[in-house]
A and B are shown apart, each in its own frame.
Chain A
Amino acid sequence: DVKVTQSSRYLVKRTGEKVFLECVQDMDHENMFWYRQDPGLGLRLIYFSYDVKMKEKGDIPEGYSVSREKKERFSLILESASTNQTSMYLCASSIQGLNEKLFFGSGTQLSVL
C-alpha cells in the first residue's frame, strides 16, 4: 500500500522556535510538495521539489524553507515560528509529469503559542 508519512500528527511549539516537519514517501516519486490548509483558504502551496536537492517556491514561501537530501524525504522548516503559522500542514508526492495525481499524508496540525 502506497504511503506518504508525516512524522507528527500534532505539534505545539513556542514563538521563535525552529520547527522541522518531516515527510517520507515510499512510492519512489520524484515530486514532493508542502501545502498549508486553513479554513476558507483551501490548500496553498508553500514549496515543492522535483528532484533531490532541488526546491522551488510555491505561492506562500515566506517564513519557510525546505530540504530534500534524499528522494523519499522532504522536510519543511520554520526558521522562527510565529503565531500566524499555526495551521494544518500537508505533504504530498507525485510521479514526474503526473502532478494532477497527488498522494497526500494525513497532515500535521501545528500550533504556535
Chain B
Amino acid sequence: GQQLNQSPQSMFIQEGEDVSMNCTSSSIFNTWLWYKQDPGEGPVLLIALYKAGELTSNGRLTAQFGITRKDSFLNISASIPSDVGIYFCAGQRTSGSRLTFGEGTQLTVNP
C-alpha cells in the first residue's frame, strides 16, 4: 500500500512557538485527516478535511486541504507542553474506503 510522505519526522520546539508540518502524496485523495497520538495512547482524530482548498481550525490547530488534493498541512499556534505526541496525516481515496497513513511527526515541546 502507498505511504504518504510526512515531514518533518521530528520537531523539538520551545513552548509558545508555532509549528508546521505537512503531508504529500503522488496521487489524489478526496479526504485528508490529521490524528494525534499522546504517549501511551492510541491516535485520536483532530481534524477532517473534505474539500480541496478547505481550511479548518480546531482551537490552536489549523489544517488545510491542498488545492491539488495531493497534500495537506497542519499548523499549531502557541504550542504548549500537552501538544507533545506523534501527529499522523491520513488520506482517504473515496468515501468509505480505508485510510493510508503518513509516517508521523514526533513533536517535543520544551517548557
CA distance A59 to B98 in the complex (A): 11
Q: Are A45's CB and B1's CB within 8 A? A: yes
The residues of B that contact A44 with a CB separation of less than 8 Å are: 1, 101
Q: Are A97's CB and B95's CB within 8 A? A: yes
Q: Interface size bucket, A side?
A: 20 to 34
Interface-lining segment among B41-49, B63-71, B76-84: B41-49
CA distance A104 to B1 in the complex (A): 21
Is A54 part of the contact surface with B, judged by Cβ < 8 Å?
A: no
Is A27 part of the contact surface with B, judged by Cβ < 8 Å?
A: no
What is the number of contacts between chain A and chain B, taking CB atoms within 8 Å? 63
Shortest CB-to-CB span from B104 to chain A, Å, is: 5
Shortest CB-to-CB span from B50 to chain A, Å, is: 9
Is B24 part of the contact surface with A, judged by Cβ < 8 Å?
A: no
The interface bits of chain A over 97-113 (1 if a CB of B lies within 8 angstroms of the residue's CB, else 0) are 11111101111000000
Interchain Cβ contacts under 8 Å between A and B, 8 examples: A41-B103, A42-B4, A42-B104, A43-B43, A43-B88, A99-B96, A102-B43, A104-B44
Q: Interface of B with A (CB < 8 Å)?
A: 1, 3-4, 6, 9, 31, 33, 35, 40-45, 48, 88, 90, 92, 95-99, 101-104
Q: Interface of A with B (CB < 8 Å)?
A: 4, 33, 35, 40-45, 48, 58-59, 90, 92, 96-102, 104-107
Kindly list the 4 A-B residue pairs having the minimum CB-CB distance in the complex, ordered from nearest.
A104-B42, A59-B1, A43-B101, A42-B103
